[in-house]
Structure 1
Amino acid sequence: VLQKSYFGKVKMIYIDPPYNTGNDSFIYPDRFSETKEEYQKRVGDKDDEGYMTSEGMFRRNSRENGQYHSNWLNMMMPRLYLAKNLLQEDGVIFISIDDNEVHNLRLLMNEIFGEENFVGELIWKSRQNKDNRNITGLSIDHEYVLCYSKYNDGRKLNGSERKTEQYANPDNDSRGDWVSGNMVGLLGEDLRPNCHYDLINPETGINYGKPKLGWRYDKKTMSRLIEEKRIIWPDSKDGRPRRKVFLNELNSELPNFTSIIGEKTYTRDGTKEIDELFNSKYFDFPKPTTLIGELIKQGTDCRGNDIILDFFAGSATTAHAVMQLNKDGGNRKYICVQMPEPCEEKSEAYKAGYNTIADIAKERIRRAGKKIQSEIAEENRKNKEKLDFDKSNEEIKLDTGFKVFKLSVSNFKQWRQSPLHNSEELTDQLKLFIDPIAENAIIEDMVYELLLKSGKDLNSRVENNDGYYLIDSNELAFILEKVNEQIILEVLSEYPKKVIALDRIFNENDQLKTNTALQMKDAGVEFKTI
């Protein structure tokens, strides 16, 4: 559904899929001697109308199953192919996983994204205390996060924050703060003879000799450093000269990001976040927002409008992390996709009225947004106490609103090819499609379906006027409920680039329809009827 509107627009994907521990429930086809359609009907996965039943959608993938790994890979592969389509050219994907499938996932990702686009395998120490239940005697205290890029054309992660506390200016150098840098070489004299020479302070005459591996710079470069007074000379010949490294000369590229992530961040921290928001344990083993936030900071630009996608949303940790990070002034956006997986009837979440995991996710975003807004208000209050009243533009502002969409049947009739025995039957079927609108179609749903089919963002601004809808000011206009000359003139006055109208609203008024098409053409507006 998202392929047309979001093709090549997602900057980063993070997913935390089922780890395939033997206790996970997910969709998978496990019979290949018959068609999937036949199998689903035979085992009761589909009802009489052909829709998946909840019993058929979520079943446990047992370790005793002979296709244990295949089932998991069959579930993952099509999703990852579609995910790659959505990534920007410079986009990256992070996938949390553990030892059960990390080896298979690497092979699958190599096939889909290409081995050359492997960025790294990050390691997260997820458990703070040892697990003494494992019969092997080994406590598994870590998980992995695989990282792949869409295309390997340079640096993909932003890097770690540069530590500048050690920079100072004790000698009031006009070039600013500095630290001392090592000048000892890296290779022996046989490999780099031009860097092996005695180094002498021209002002004191002290000879510091030459280290075993020589100096890092040849004589010409060293002479320039001496002339620019960048060398720190020890008082004793037994000391080692060093060079000044100035803070303002460092390039903008940050130090590399470490593959050991989530320092002092554990699974229990994610559980604690849920507990604090809901005052109860409604979700098992959610990832901590600090861990996801660390990945988002590496894969996105806080100054842009980057989109982060999570299509195994779970309790919506990713949405929470994005909102939390945007307190830095960023405008990152999230898309979370979660199937309506039922909560177990014995669970605390179900007893509290949350029928599905998606229900928990939606409520978490609401509560997290409210909590973040409260934190921002308190921070603004403290800032106002420090600043003059007229500096209200210093306030932090953050939009934590979100839209919820549920996948549904189309508002337009779907042609289903069935065996037709004669021309009369074909004629009867064609008559059903004279009006292509489904019987139970809802106008608002139709607006968003046409948005997607037109390749527009679901976050587009929809303005409901009396008789027509404007999308993002004048990008697109829909005429769906009624039409007359006055409405056509109003629509044209907005100078839309494209107008889509339902054919049936013209009520067989061919003259009005023809005039409308001519008026649109004269105004340079693309006009289409459905």
Structure 2
Amino acid sequence: MSNPIHPTSQTPQQLTLTKLKQLMPEAFSEGQLDIHKLTALLSEQDIAPAQEAYGLSWAGKHQVYRELKTPTSQTLVPQPDESVDFDTSQNLFIEGDNLAVLKILQKSYHSRIKMIYIDPPYNTGNDRFVYADDFSESIADYKARAGQTDEDGNLTHSDGMQSNRKENGQYHSNWLNMMYPRLALAKSLLRDDGVIFVSIDDNEVANLRLLMDEVFGEENFVDIITRATGTPTGGGNNAFVNELDYIVVYARNSIKLNIEGFDLTKSEAKIYDQEDKYGTYLTRPLRRTGGEDKREDRPSMYFPITAPDGTEIYPIGPTGYESRWICGEKKYHEMSKENLIEWKMVKDKWQVYQKFYLEGRKKLPGNLWNDVEGNKKATRDVRKIFDTLKVFDHPKPVGLIEKIISCVDTKSDIILDFFAGSSTTAHAVMALNAEEAENNEAGKRKFIMVQIPEVIDAKDNQSAYEFCINNNMPPNIAEISKERIRRAAAHITSELPETVDSTALDFGFKAYKLADSNFIPWQQPTSYDADSLMAQLEKHLDPIVDTATTDGIITELMLKEGYTLTATVREADGYYLLTQNDAPNDGLNDANRLNSAGTSMTLAIVLDDMTTSKATQIIASAPNKTLIMDRAFRDDANKANIVLQFEDAGLVVGCV
């Protein structure tokens, strides 16, 4: 293999470093010489770093911790016009930087998500993912700093994402800095019996495993699934063709994780070749066979069993040694009562067997998946629903995501994908629910998709760009993602048999976009003179920004109070009443939450014109909490009297 041609002449230092890297690659990290490693490797003295510990370290890790703890003032704004069945759907599509979105969802969705699947950037050298995260600034300031707008506010590129090429310094560190806070925030959204699946390839699978050990705990590692992609490429290696990628699986709490098995295929079910009034079954000897089948291994499993003719049968090995049964005596009698024991006469001797019925039988998933549809079919499927246009590169197969979801009992739970891409996960959720409806089962899974509005370059993907323009959509991946859901829903509905009521299935979604807060943030005066302080106070007489909408304010307040985006919102007589029908019992409940799961909690919000009669009306409905905008009070006396009304009724009230 020839060396790459350098565009400029190499310095003596570069030549020395090249030779040194060939001799001692272990002294380099991300292409840069680590002088401490080099000293430790070459010194005759026993030199150790100041602190040695097993783990993963990278440039910028300490900044990630700080970033993780930094709250965001941003919010989500509902987009009914971009939604499908906004008022009734339990599915969500959120457009925005997933780190900010995950922070916003922390209170409302803590411990609510059963399963997460993500397909993050693989860090191949062509990915654009390095976000400029700073949550103390506005979205406008962020866009300017990230290079999205010029000094006049004009867009340069509209997603703020940058490429992370292999020749860049800190190539792996950039990826780890991007992934760590997102995984840490995702972990807190998972239920205690929840699980996360992460697709990855050879470029970062080793680092991802160590990273997730740190975030989720080594003890919660479940497995790494190896998948045949069906698309051999030479990517990443000149010696071997790459035909695989991986799915790294971690549990929130491995003790509580329950992996579901799959239904047996017809060929696998053929071995169930016996039948009685209880169903089809197969038998296996009750006597333990194999390397540890001797009586002394488990003495409690050596006992006599009475045969049909009244004789006592002991577990005896082929050469006459004392063996053992597969269970203890108590368990044997339980199986006998449950019709799971069968006797057979073999060569004039009674033999005892255990019965295994086919009904309800599942097989646990293996970690080599070469029986799912490949990436080429995934591309064809997306083109099919987009009128043969190639609008998305490298989508994951719907069948793959269906198989992943089927590993976990998620029939009525939330599935989150915060690298939504073309929303294959949403497609798979809807398809699985529809399949179960055909079998008279109640598939009511719900999805949350999060996707940054990554710009579609006309040069990179002309079909996708023109599709967006021709359909009056901004040319970005989030728009393609939403359209995929709409078209997939229509396709699934068209193929449902007449016996299935499609209206009972949720093929819609509520769309939201990341935005700056509806409330003017308090800014410390540059000087502490009376005029500066008064100017700040005047801004907060009515601290609502000019662009705020009623729906936006309601959404921001409900999220801050821990209500989910699917809580029902009803406009009453001069106020809004929010109802959450599945209040969690997660130990984090505050005064406005109930302490038992499955019950309702309610929040009343008053934006304008607060009166004593309105207070009486709200108190009669006994909400868990009432929020009243300061601007809604006529004066301080009116405010004091109304707050006292709520307190006398034993109800929680807050002023904004």
Report the residue type matching 1:283 in the other structure.
F
Q: What are the superposed Cα offsets for residues 20-40 of structure 1, whole Å, 9 maximum, x if unpaired?
A: 11111012469xxxxxx9999
Report the residue type matching 2:608 in the other structure.
E
Larger mean CA deviation between 82-91 and 475-484 belongs to: 475-484
* 1:349 counterpart = 2:461: no
Alpha-carbon contact 1:92-1:156 (below 8 Å) kept: no
Looking at structure 2, the residues matched to 447 and 74 of structure 1 have their Cα atoms a distance apart, in angstroms, of 34
Report the residue type matching 1:80 in the other structure.
L
Q: How many positions carry a matched residue from both structures?
A: 501
| Higher strand proportion | 2
* 1:336 counterpart = 2:449: yes
Which residue in 2 is equivalent to 1:282? Answer: 391
Q: What are the superposed Cα offsets for residues 489-525 of structure 1, whole Å, 9 maximum, x if unpaired?
A: 44334332221111112233x4433332233234333
Alpha-carbon contact 1:176-1:246 (below 8 Å) kept: no
Alpha-carbon contact 2:605-2:628 (below 8 Å) kept: yes
Which residue in 1 is equivalent to 2:408? Answer: 299
Looking at structure 2, the residues matched to 433 and 38 of structure 1 have their Cα atoms a distance apart, in angstroms, of 22
Looking at structure 2, the residues matched to 220 and 450 of structure 1 have their Cα atoms a distance apart, in angstroms, of 59
Q: What are the superposed Cα offsets for residues 125-171 of structure 1, whole Å, 9 maximum, x if unpaired?
A: 111x544788734221111000111122244312333565543545x
> What TM-score do the two structures reach when normalised by structure 1?
0.82
The one of 514, 519, 523 equivalent to 2:649 is 523
> What TM-score do the two structures reach when normalised by structure 2?
0.68
Which residue in 1 is equivalent to 2:514? Answer: 407
Alpha-carbon contact 1:380-1:395 (below 8 Å) kept: no
Which residue in 2 is equivalent to 1:33? Answer: none
- Residue 370 and residue 29 in structure 1: after superposition, are their counterparts in 2 closer, same or farther (change >3 A)? closer
Q: 1:463, CA displacement in angstroms?
A: 1.2
Which residue in 2 is equivalent to 1:390? Answer: none
Looking at structure 1, the residues matched to 525 and 119 of structure 2 have their Cα atoms a distance apart, in angstroms, of 40
Larger mean CA deviation between 468-477 and 285-294 belongs to: 468-477
- Residue 341 and residue 201 in structure 1: after superposition, are their counterparts in 2 closer, same or farther (change >3 A)? same
Which residue in 2 is equivalent to 1:384? Answer: none
Report the residue type matching 1:259 in the other structure.
N
Which residue in 2 is equivalent to 1:495? Answer: 622
- Residue 216 and residue 46 in structure 1: after superposition, are their counterparts in 2 closer, same or farther (change >3 A)? farther
**SS of aligned partner of 1:352:** helix
Q: Give aligned-pair identity as a percent.
A: 38
Alpha-carbon contact 1:175-1:246 (below 8 Å) kept: no
Which residue in 2 is equivalent to 1:233? Answer: 345
* 1:138 counterpart = 2:240: yes
- Residue 504 and residue 198 in structure 1: after superposition, are their counterparts in 2 closer, same or farther (change >3 A)? closer
* 1:247 counterpart = 2:374: no
Say what the alpha-carbon RMSD is for the aligned residues. 4.0
Q: 1:404, CA displacement in angstroms?
A: 0.5
Which residue in 2 is equivalent to 1:482? Answer: 609
Looking at structure 2, the residues matched to 152 and 230 of structure 1 have their Cα atoms a distance apart, in angstroms, of 36
- Where in structure 2 are the equivalents of 1:54-93 lying within 5 Å? 54=157, 57-93=160-196
Which residue in 1 is equivalent to 2:482? Answer: 362
Which residue in 2 is equivalent to 1:257? Answer: 365
Higher relative contact order (Cα pairs below 8 Å, separated by 6+ residues)? 2
Report the residue type matching 1:512 in the other structure.
N
Looking at structure 1, the residues matched to 626 and 536 of structure 2 have their Cα atoms a distance apart, in angstroms, of 29
Report the residue type matching 2:171 in the other structure.
Y
Alpha-carbon contact 1:316-1:361 (below 8 Å) kept: yes
Q: What are the superposed Cα offsets for residues 412-441 of structure 1, whole Å, 9 maximum, x if unpaired?
A: 011234632644323322332232222222
**SS of aligned partner of 2:407:** helix
Q: What are the superposed Cα offsets for residues 227-268 of structure 1, whole Å, 9 maximum, x if unpaired?
A: 99723233478xx956141429x9x89543211236131112
Report the residue type matching 1:217 in the other structure.
W
Which residue in 1 is equivalent to 2:272? Answer: 167
- Residue 125 and residue 519 in structure 1: after superposition, are their counterparts in 2 closer, same or farther (change >3 A)? same
Q: 1:201, CA displacement in angstroms?
A: 8.6
5+ long unaligned stretches in structure 2:
1-103, 134-139, 437-441, 581-600
Report the residue type matching 1:364 in the other structure.
R
Larger mean CA deviation between 360-369 and 409-418 belongs to: 409-418
Looking at structure 2, the residues matched to 243 and 108 of structure 1 have their Cα atoms a distance apart, in angstroms, of 48
Alpha-carbon contact 2:146-2:160 (below 8 Å) kept: no
- Residue 47 and residue 4 in structure 1: after superposition, are their counterparts in 2 closer, same or farther (change >3 A)? farther
Alpha-carbon contact 2:646-2:652 (below 8 Å) kept: yes
Looking at structure 2, the residues matched to 438 and 475 of structure 1 have their Cα atoms a distance apart, in angstroms, of 26
Looking at structure 2, the residues matched to 207 and 445 of structure 1 have their Cα atoms a distance apart, in angstroms, of 75
5+ long unaligned stretches in structure 1:
31-36, 382-393
Looking at structure 2, the residues matched to 407 and 332 of structure 1 have their Cα atoms a distance apart, in angstroms, of 24
